[in-house]
């Protein structure tokens, strides 16, 4: 609240000097703008830039314009903390980020301490909200959770691959291991027994040893807790070894870059993700607007847009950007967004429909028929 008072003093001084002038309201988005997961960072950046442009074109917030700052954490926890501190130094009052759970969780401590509201469009690890620094608010998400995603995936494996050899692998990250463990837990709770459970190193290019082990154990289904870069290489290398093993994964495959890595080898890959917001009729004009600009609003583009929409509506409801006031509005309100009308529960998790299955076909992903 000290930040809010200082902002108020600065705004009052600006108005006193120039009656028609208003201060900018600084907000941020942060994610992997560079590195192997940069496609997701670019999704977030595209969504945030469009949201800010649309809000400013509509008059901003009570006449004040939004100014967007973009941070690159490369999905690295230490870099994420540095980015969070940089955002605080720039006067940000809101963060639509980060992407990786391993970044969002440590960064959330900085934001909570400095009274910056954080809504992630993408971080699914349960700890992000279960262990949020401020129990009364400050930390929210508009995406689902790994334990929700794992329940759906685990049941699917049990229902569709009973008696098959199923291997679970993860990349040792907060997201990847969390998702693999949640899915495996649900699979076992439904009576399944895994054939293999292995960890791999993110960023490697050669998964020959892992693929050979899968082949040796006659694995029918490979569940990957990790990102599209490694999953794409795995499926390609399985096909090169003559394996027709089905690859199943989670929401980190929602980028066209997956097919760029796999080519035809990615045909039939299955993944879980929330209902596609591009198919929301209310979002059709915005989807068309993105496409007119040459941007396909896949993955987390619209989730980032929605995170900003929810915060802006909360600010309007609170009558200020004050941290506690905005938290109160977020905790109690309903917000009309491109994802649909949403609200947040007492942990900061979103109340939206859960996960569904998608299939990659001919270079695109769509609902599994």
- CATH number of the structural domain 147-273: 3.40.50.2300
**Of 95, 179, 148, 144, which Cα lies nearest the Cα of 350?**
144
- Looking at residue 22, its pLDDT comes to 56
- Looking at residue 1, its pLDDT comes to 40
- 294-320 as b/e, with b when 16 or more CB fall inside 10 Å? ebebbbbbbbbbbbbbbbbbbbeebeb
| DSSP 8-class letter at 163 | T
SS (H, E, C) 106-154: HHHHHHHHCCCEEEECCCCCCHHHHCCCCCCCCEEECCCCHHHHHHHHH
Q: What share of the chain is helix, strand, coil (3-state, %, to 5)?
A: 45, 20, 35
Which residues lie below 8 Å from residue 36, measured CB to CB, with a gap of 6+?
202, 203, 227, 229
Task: State the angle between helix axes of 284-292 and 38-57 in degrees (0 to 180), rounded to the nearest 10.
Answer: 110
369 in helix, strand or coil?
coil
- CATH number of the structural domain 2-144+279-342: 3.40.50.2300
Residue extents of the structural domains in the chain: 2-144+279-342, 147-273
Task: State the angle between helix axes of 301-318 and 38-57 in degrees (0 to 180), rounded to the nearest 10.
Answer: 40
**Of 235, 273, 233, which Cα lies nearest the Cα of 253?**
273
Tokens linked to 314: 């909360």
User: What is the full per-residue pLDDT of the chain (369 aa) written as tens digits?
Assistant: 445 433 443 333 333 333 334 579 999 999 999 999 999 999 999 999 999 999 999 999 988 999 999 999 999 999 999 999 999 999 999 999 999 999 999 999 999 999 999 999 999 999 999 999 999 999 999 999 999 999 999 999 999 999 999 999 999 999 999 999 999 999 999 999 999 999 999 999 999 999 999 999 999 999 999 999 999 999 999 999 999 999 999 999 999 999 999 999 999 999 999 999 999 999 999 999 999 999 999 999 999 999 999 999 999 999 999 999 999 999 999 999 999 999 999 999 999 988 999 999 999 999 998
- Looking at residue 27, its pLDDT comes to 98
- Looking at residue 19, its pLDDT comes to 38
Matching fold, domains 2-144+279-342 and 147-273: yes
Which residues lie below 8 Å from residue 250, measured CB to CB, with a gap of 6+?
124, 146, 149, 153, 179, 183, 225, 271, 272, 273
How many CB atoms lie under 10 A from the CB of residue 346?
Answer: 10
Return d(Cα 185, Cα 91) in angstroms, integer.
Answer: 42
Contact 124, 143 (CB under 8 A): yes
Rounded to 5 degrees, what are φ and ψ at 229? -60, -50
């Amino acid at each position: 609240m000290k930040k809010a008072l200082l902002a108020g003093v600065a705004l009052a001084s600006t108005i006193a000097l120039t009656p028609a002038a208003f201060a900018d309201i600084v907000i941020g988005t942060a994610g992997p703008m560079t590195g192997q997961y940069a496609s997701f960072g670019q999704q977030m950046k595209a969504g945030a830039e469009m949201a800010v442009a649309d809000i400013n074109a509509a008059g901003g917030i009570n006449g004040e314009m939004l100014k967007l700052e973009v941070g690159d954490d490369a999905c690295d926890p230490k870099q994420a903390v540095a980015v969070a501190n940089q955002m605080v130094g720039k006067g940000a009052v809101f963060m639509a980020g980060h992407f990786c759970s391993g970044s969002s969780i440590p960064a959330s401590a900085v934001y909570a301490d400095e009274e910056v509201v954080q809504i992630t469009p993408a971080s699914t690890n349960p700890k992000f909200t279960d262990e949020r620094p401020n129990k009364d608010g400050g930390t929210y998400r508009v995406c689902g959770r790994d334990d929700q995603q794992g329940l759906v995936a685990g049941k699917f494996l049990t229902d569709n691959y009973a008696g098959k050899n199923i291997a679970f692998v993860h990349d040792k990250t907060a997201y990847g291991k969390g998702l693999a463990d949640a899915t495996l837990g649900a699979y076992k709770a439904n009576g399944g027994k895994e054939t293999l459970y292995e960890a791999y190193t993110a960023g490697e290019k050669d998964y020959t040893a892992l693929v050979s082990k899968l082949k040796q154990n006659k694995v029918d289904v490979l569940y990957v807790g990790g990102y599209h870069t490694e999953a794409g290489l795995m499926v390609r290398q399985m096909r090169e070894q003559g394996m027709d093993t089905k690859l199943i994964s989670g929401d980190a495959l929602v980028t066209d870059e997956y097919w760029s890595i796999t080519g035809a080898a990615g045909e039939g890959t299955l993944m879980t993700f929330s209902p596609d917001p591009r198919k929301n009729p209310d979002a059709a004009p915005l989807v068309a607007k993105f496409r007119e600009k040459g941007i396909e609003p896949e993955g987390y583009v619209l989730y980032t847009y929605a995170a900003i929409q929810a915060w802006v509506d909360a600010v309007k409801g609170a009558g200020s950007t004050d941290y506690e006031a905005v938290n109160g509005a977020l905790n109690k309100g309903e917000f009309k967004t491109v994802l649909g009308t949403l609200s947040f529960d007492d942990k900061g998790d979103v109340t939206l429909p859960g996960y569904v299955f998608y299939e990659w076909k001919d270079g695109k992903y769509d609902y599994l028929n």
